[in-house]
Amino acid sequence: MYVAVKGGETAILNASALLAQARRGDPAVAEIDTAQIAGQLRLGVARVMAEGSLYDEELAALALKQAAGDQVEAIFLLRAYRTTLPRFGYTVPLDTARMAVRRRISATFKELPGGQVLGPTYDYTQRLLDFSLLAEGGAPDAVPGVEPLPDTLPRGTDLLGEEGLIEPELPLPGDPAPTDLSREPLGFPADRATRLQNLARGDEGFLLAMGYSTQRGYSHTHPFAGEIRMGEVALEVVPEELGFAIGIGGITVTECQMVNQFAGSASTPPQFTRGYGLAFGEAERKTMAMALVDRALRCAELGEDAASPAQQAEFVLSHSDNVEAGGFVQHLKLPHYVDFQSELELVRRMRAEAAQPQAAEEQTA
Amino acid sequence: MSATGYNFAYLDPQTKRMLRRALLKAVAIPGYQVPFGSREMPLPYGWGTGGIQVTAAVLGRDDVLKVIDQGSDDTVNAVNIRRFFARTADVATTDRTAEATVIQTRHRIPEAPLAEGQIMVYQVPQPEPMRRLEPREAVTRTLHALADYGFMHVKLYEDIARYGHIATTYDYPVMVNGRYLMSPSPIPKFDNPKLNRSPALQLFGAGREKRVYAVPPYTRVESLDFDDHPFSVQRWDAPCALCGADDSFLDEVVLDDAGGRMFVCSDSEYCTSRQHAGHTGPASNNMASARLGRGPASS
Amino acid sequence: MTAPGFCVNAPLLPGFAQPEDDAQRVFRVLLDALSHPGRIHTVPLALEAPAPLATATGAAALTLCDYETPLWLQSPDAAPWLRFHTGCPLVERPAQARFALIDDPATMPALADFPQGEPEYPDRSATLLIQVADFTDDGLVWSGPGIDGETTLGVAGLPAGFWRDWQRNTGHFPLGIDLLLVAGDRIVGLPRTTTIREA
């Protein structure tokens, strides 16, 4: 039976009420609070902050709670909130060399100043379900004494730079202000600063697939993880009335510098090139994938063919945003019956026309 | 600030200024897609964020807003957008086409003629009429710059060669003032003639694709065609089953499992007004009328 | 810091009384004006803009300008008011302007001196607010998008040769600039699509 879409308002209100009920789940089980989410689901919160483009652990935790754990929905909630916020100014660029490092590893040098710092990582856990967590686990064991880390650690890639073995990372001539993708539309060709901004907000799953494709022969870039570091960096602004930088706080970020082979060209001696990834919070998988995609997207600048999907900037950058993609894929559930009716009318007419000559043939036969 | 704690019509003043500047350029260059800094809206991309941003940029306290989806004021998406503006801008809303000063629409143009002073706001999923033929924005932008629309004609002609018809039935491309090829948004081609020399101002917003464009009043809008295959619109064999209209776009309504169906106006307000005025169709006294909720007596 | 030509201690005139609502109402007038070229519209509020700005010029600037819109001023007297209320950067050359305010058309630069846009982005072009002496009932015949056939309107206070300059502007479509002509609180839109001929 056909039920016309009428009384839409009541239906919408009822759906909201059902959603609230479903989100809460069994009221006999204690409600989760945002401090628990921020404290105990911190990696989920980090992804929401990174792709939601807003560093606020409490609001990201709230978004995750409201979205019942759906990360893409939580990212959308945070973005829609962020867009209403006034903008006070821009910080000076983060200096990750001055990061208070909690994790720093390099796959290119066995030993480097400051050493390899594993930090809190899943890397060498054996992926066995820990059934003790089913019960309330209590406080974990204290971390055995380790040497305190120096305040700052030099970046692994800087060691290559001293020998001229890796391309220098220099501002563009005139050091132009980067595009702000949250205020200006993406245009093509997009410069590297714009591309990196897009990738930093991009969907982790999409970047992972794109980065992975470069490892499987779709534009192989011979990557090495030059350095991955995670920790706290200072935020600084230069107030107009002071004229010098003052600290306004700090955030956790993860940075990945991939080192990639490059044969050199007529104008450039052989040297290593870089792919770069940076994201809010602990986001190692995302920043590694981002660095692979960044390097692949530099193909034109480095004189390489742009034959693979990950090298095609318009393809990658236009499809990386999960708020855009999620909305448009799911808009197909909105009514399209006017368009469908139009197609139906045409298909029926064409079928009728196709049947006519056939019928005529049968008559003459 | 309204009672919700958000700005009037949600957008902040700076965003509105940016949009308003884009809209003025859009009016000055009819049919040309102006890039703008589209914002995340509290509704998903693909669900009318472009139209919502355009409406938010033009809407004032004295406006009367009508929102339709598929021609109807009652579909959930139309209801949701109307609620959004009633909540954030506290504007009067209506379902009467003639009473509205701003009409936001998805996929239809109302059947009742539009008047000077009205603003139509179209929700646009894909502003680029050539996108299905050429996915690269850099290329289509150059083609617009050169007014090189040859391959759009080739595509339509290939349809004729293959199917005997131009196989585009909605989002049928148009030329605006003889210069820019434009997507009319996914309206059925039945509605294309209403775009031509309309006394209303027509604004188009694509949020996800970050473009706005416009057709000023009394502007020439021609659907692409060929001398031997002139543009034509859909026609139905029977009038609307409820109001008897023979000049409106009809939705097909499946009534039962046995293949029973009837055709009724897609523009629900047009249909209801006609019924109130005493017009009847073949199924006027049928139970289906009550089920459809379109009859004057239904609740 | 003092710039020549104005006193920093003089109190600035206020801007919009109701910034959000006033900007919306003025925008609708501007939208209407560019949608109906050759038709006289009136700015619906009492704004006292500093000399030499007319009410409609000041209202349009407050509605459209901000830190993203480089503004070129023919005469600098209203600069402090515009800077304070909009935050827009002032530029020295017409070629850098997104908006330009002209209070003395007799000595204004050629229309071609302002940004015309690029073939791929004709919207990256200037909008000029030109203060004229008056609008009259006849003299010029206007046609193009936004006009149902033709309309008649005269403009007093534009220099000789202005309309020849305008004809060149419309000849490069889609490139070109767009104008808003102002007399007091009245405003007339003149987008690049409008063709003007002598009556």
- The pLDDT tens digits for A354-363 are 888 665 555 5
Residue B205's beta-bridge partner residues?
B123, B212
* Ordered strands of the C41-42 beta sheet: C41-42, C186-190, C178-183, C127-131, C99-102, C71-73
Q: What average pLDDT does the segment A30-45 reach?
A: 97
Backbone angles phi, psi at A105, to 5 degrees: -135, 155
Exposure pattern of A215-252 as b/e (b: 16+ CB <10 Å)?
eeeebebebebbbbbbbebbebeeeeeeeeeeeeeebb
Question: Does C24 sit within 8 Å of B29, measured CB to CB?
Answer: no
Residue A89 binned pLDDT confidence (cut-offs 50, 70, 90): confident
pLDDT of residue A111: 81
Q: Is the pLDDT of residue B298 over 60?
A: no
Task: Please indicate, yes or no, if residue C6 is contained in any of the structural domains.
Answer: no
Q: Do residues C125 and C108 touch, judged by C-beta distance below 8 A?
A: no
Told to judge if B205 belongs to the known catalytic residues of this protein, a careful annotator would answer: no
Task: Please indicate, yes or no, if residue C148 is contained in any of the structural domains.
Answer: yes
* Superfamily per CATH, domain B13-223: Bacterial phosphonate metabolism protein PhnH (3.40.50.11310)
pLDDT of residue B79: 92
Mutate to test the interface with B, among C21, C35, C124 (most CBs of B within 10 A): C35
Residue B65 binned pLDDT confidence (cut-offs 50, 70, 90): very high
Better pLDDT: A350 or A291: A291
E strand or H helix at B141: helix B137-146
Q: Is A345 on the interface with B (CB under 8 A)?
A: yes
CA torsion A243-A246-A250-A254 (nearest 10°) is: 50
Backbone angles phi, psi at B61, to 5 degrees: -65, -25
Q: What average pLDDT does the segment B33-60 reach?
A: 94
**First-to-last C-alpha distance (Å) of chain C:** 52
Told to judge if B295 belongs to the known catalytic residues of this protein, a careful annotator would answer: no
Mutate to test the interface with C, among B85, B174, B218 (most CBs of C within 10 A): B218
Q: What Rg, from alpha-carbon coordinates, does chain C have?
A: 16
- Residues of chain C where predicted confidence (pLDDT) is lower than 70: 1-10
**Minimum-distance CB partner of C66 among B17, B60, B219:** B17
Residue C30: closest C-alpha in chain B: B24
pTM of the model: 0.89
Told to judge if B150 belongs to the known catalytic residues of this protein, a careful annotator would answer: no
Q: How far is B135 from chain A (nearest CA, A)?
A: 9
Q: Is the preceding omega at residue B173 within 30 degrees of 0, hence cis?
A: no
Q: How far is C193 from chain B (nearest CA, A)?
A: 7
pLDDT of residue A269: 81
Question: Does B253 sit within 8 Å of A83, measured CB to CB?
Answer: no
Q: Minimum mean pLDDT among A24-33, A92-101, A144-153, A305-314: which range?
A: A144-153
Q: Do residues B104 and B66 touch, judged by C-beta distance below 8 A?
A: yes
- The CB-side HSE value for B184 (13 A sphere, CA atoms) comes to 27
Task: Please indicate, yes or no, if residue C5 is contained in any of the structural domains.
Answer: no
Q: Which of B71, B271, B281, B295 is catalytic?
A: B271
Q: Do residues B75 and A8 touch, judged by C-beta distance below 8 A?
A: yes
Q: Quote the domain boundaries for residue C175.
A: 19-189
Token pair of A138, please? 């209590």
Give me the amino acid identity at A143.
V
pLDDT of residue B285: 67
Residues with Cβ within 8 Å of B79's Cβ and at least 6 positions away in sequence, in order, are: A8, A9, A12, B67, B73
Q: Minimum mean pLDDT among A50-54, A220-224, A330-334: which range?
A: A220-224
**Minimum-distance CB partner of C120 among B24, B141, B215:** B141
Range among A167-171, A272-276, B45-49, C142-146 with highest mean pLDDT value: C142-146
Question: Does B35 sit within 8 Å of A346, measured CB to CB?
Answer: no
Q: Do residues B81 and B70 touch, judged by C-beta distance below 8 A?
A: no
Mutate to test the interface with C, among B16, B20, B55 (most CBs of C within 10 A): B20
Q: Which of B243, B244, B281, B295 is catalytic?
A: B243
Q: Do residues B91 and B173 touch, judged by C-beta distance below 8 A?
A: no
pLDDT of residue B66: 97
- Distance (Å, rounded) from C-alpha A65 to C-alpha A40? 13
Question: What percentage of chain B reaches a pLDDT higher than 90?
Answer: 73
Domain of residue C165, CATH code: 3.40.50.11310
Q: Is the pLDDT of residue A110 over 50?
A: yes
Mean pLDDT of chain B: 91
Residue A272's beta-bridge partner residues?
A166
Mutate to test the interface with B, among C31, C124, C147 (most CBs of B within 10 A): C31
Better pLDDT: A6 or A225: A225
Residue B2 binned pLDDT confidence (cut-offs 50, 70, 90): very low
Better pLDDT: B157 or A254: A254
For residue B201, the SS3 value is strand
Task: Please indicate, yes or no, if residue C32 is contained in any of the structural domains.
Answer: yes
Task: Please indicate, yes or no, if residue C36 is contained in any of the structural domains.
Answer: yes
- The CB-side HSE value for A360 (13 A sphere, CA atoms) comes to 6
Q: Do residues B65 and B82 touch, judged by C-beta distance below 8 A?
A: yes
Question: Does B28 sit within 8 Å of C34, measured CB to CB?
Answer: yes
Q: Do residues A342 and B232 touch, judged by C-beta distance below 8 A?
A: no
Q: Is the pLDDT of residue B157 over 70?
A: yes
Q: What average pLDDT does the segment B262-290 reach?
A: 84
- Distance (Å, rounded) from C-alpha A30 to C-alpha A28? 6
Q: Do residues C82 and C47 touch, judged by C-beta distance below 8 A?
A: no
pLDDT of residue B296: 44
Q: Is the pLDDT of residue B139 over 70?
A: yes
Q: Do residues C139 and C120 touch, judged by C-beta distance below 8 A?
A: no
Q: Is the pLDDT of residue A308 over 70?
A: yes
Question: Does B208 sit within 8 Å of A184, measured CB to CB?
Answer: no
Quote the number of domains for chain C. 1
Question: Does B37 sit within 8 Å of A341, measured CB to CB?
Answer: no
For residue A11, the SS3 value is helix
* A53-61: Cβ within 8 A, 24+ apart: A53/A78, A53/A79, A53/A82, A53/A182, A53/A200, A53/A201, A54/A78, A54/A79, A54/A81, A54/A82, A55/A251, A55/A280, A58/A34, A61/A34, A61/A35, A61/A37
Subunits close to B (at least 3 CB pairs below 8 A): A, C
Q: Using N-to-C axis directions, what is the helix angle for A284-297 and A192-201, rounded to 10°?
A: 150
Residue B210: closest C-alpha in chain A: A185
Chain B residues whose CB is inside 8 A of the A350 CB are 163-165
Residues with Cβ within 8 Å of A242's Cβ and at least 6 positions away in sequence, in order, are: none
Q: What average pLDDT does the segment B87-116 reach?
A: 95
Told to judge if B5 belongs to the known catalytic residues of this protein, a careful annotator would answer: no
Q: How far is B11 from chain C (nearest CA, A)?
A: 11
Residue B275 binned pLDDT confidence (cut-offs 50, 70, 90): very high
DSSP class of B182: E
Q: Is the pLDDT of residue A50 over 70?
A: yes
CA of residue A316 relative to chain centroid, distance: 12
Better pLDDT: A365 or B273: B273
Mean pLDDT of chain A: 89
The owner of tokens 């002509």 is: C181
Q: Is the pLDDT of residue A4 over 60?
A: no
**First-to-last C-alpha distance (Å) of chain B:** 36
Chain B residues whose CB is inside 8 A of the A330 CB are 44, 46
Q: Is the pLDDT of residue B286 over 60?
A: no
Query: Tens of pLDDT along B212-221?
Result: 999 999 999 9
- Interface ipTM: 0.95
Residue A312: closest C-alpha in chain B: B136
pLDDT of residue A268: 75
Told to judge if B31 belongs to the known catalytic residues of this protein, a careful annotator would answer: yes
Q: What average pLDDT does the segment A40-46 reach?
A: 97
Task: Please indicate, yes or no, if residue C12 is contained in any of the structural domains.
Answer: no
pLDDT of residue A354: 85
Task: Please indicate, yes or no, if residue C7 is contained in any of the structural domains.
Answer: no
Q: Minimum mean pLDDT among A138-152, B229-243, C41-55: which range?
A: A138-152
Task: Please indicate, yes or no, if residue C83 is contained in any of the structural domains.
Answer: yes
Tell me the residues of C at the B interface, defined by beta carbons under 8 Å apart: 19-21, 23-25, 27-28, 30-31, 34-36, 63-66, 68-69, 119-123, 125, 127, 145-149, 173-174, 178, 191-193
Domain limits, CATH 3.40.50.11310, in chain B: 13-223
Question: Does A331 sit within 8 Å of B137, measured CB to CB?
Answer: no
